[in-house]
Every structure is written in structure tokens, then in C-alpha cells.
Amino acid sequence: MGKILPLLLALIGLGAGVGAGFFLRPDPAPEIEALAPCGNEETLKDASKKEAEDETPSSLEYVKLNNQFVIPVVDDTRVSALVVISITVEVAQGRKEEVYIREPKLRDAFLQVFFDHANTGGFKGAFTNSSNMDTLRRALLETAHDTTHDLISDVLIMDIARQDV
């Protein structure tokens, strides 16, 4: 009996939870009919052309660099924090493999930018404010252009975290 009672109570609790979830679930969202745009025929034609243009596939592709970057933040002679950053680069459609071929050189160049940014105090204090991040993005994009010429059109910082040591 001592082993059956906890099992019985668990089953009763599970059944009550499922029943409450079933009866208290929200109503499905009502369907909304799309209204036709107002205007003359030319306006309607322009709107349909714009919709067709929006549906064409993008000519850009995004490539996530394989590993995160780990940057030490040094105060005086000791490491006071570690910053971890994930980067994605924007390239023209079909040029993804070129990024992977050049990734070691690109990672080396990006690491140097991160070290320079850390040494100038870029990762101290409010390191995610917009002016700091804009400076870092601009330096990364300039380095990407110097390293890969016209291959990379933008550098995106996907994740950034700082852990004080």
C-alpha cells in the first residue's frame, strides 16, 4: 500500500493537470479576411508588382562561422573577464563555400580586431551600447573586406557574452 499511494497520487495529479489544460485552453484565433487595397487600377497593379518582387528569393546568403571567438579582457597583468562572440557573415548567393575555404585567415583577422577592441577598453563597462557595437562591426567589416576583398558584404554579431573571472 505504501508504494501504491504515491503512484496513485501522481496519476490523479497528472489527470487533473491534463483536464485543466484541456478545459482552460484559449479559444482559437478568429480568421481575418484580407481586404482588397483601395485605389484605382494603376495603384492595384503597382501593389501586386511590389508583392511579386517581395516574393523573389534573396540574392544574399548567411554563413555562420564554425566556432565562437573567446577574447580575454586583461586588466593590468591578469585576465579579468572572458568575452564569447558568435559571428555570421553575409555573402552573395552561392559563395558560401568560399567563406569556408578562407575561414582560417578570416578568423585570425577577426581575432586581431577583437583583441584590439579589448585592449582599448571596448569590452569594459557597458560594452553592448550602440556606439561600441557600431565601432566593432565597422572594424570587423573593414577587416573582412581587406581579407576577402568583395566576398563579404556584412558582418553580423549573433551572440555576445562577457563572463567576469
Here the CATH number for the domain that contains residue 82 is 3.30.479
* pLDDT tens, residue by residue, 59-97: 899 999 989 999 999 988 899 999 999 999 999 999 999
Lowest mean pLDDT among 47-51, 99-103, 128-132, 139-143: 47-51
Residue-averaged pLDDT of the chain: 82
Q: Does residue 101 fall inside a structural domain? A: yes
The residue segments making up the domain with residue 109 are 60-164
Please state the rounded mean pLDDT for residues 28-57.
52
Cα separation, 155 vs 145, in Å, equals 10
* pLDDT tens, residue by residue, 82-92: 999 999 999 99
Contact criterion met (CB below 8 Å) for 114 and 160: no
Q: Does position 48 have pLDDT exceeding 70, yes or no?
A: no
Read off the pTM. Answer: 0.63
Cα separation, 92 vs 78, in Å, equals 42
Structural domain count of the chain: 1
Instruction: Say how many C-beta atoms besides its own lie within 10 A of residue 95's C-beta.
Output: 16
Q: Does residue 25 fall inside a structural domain? A: no
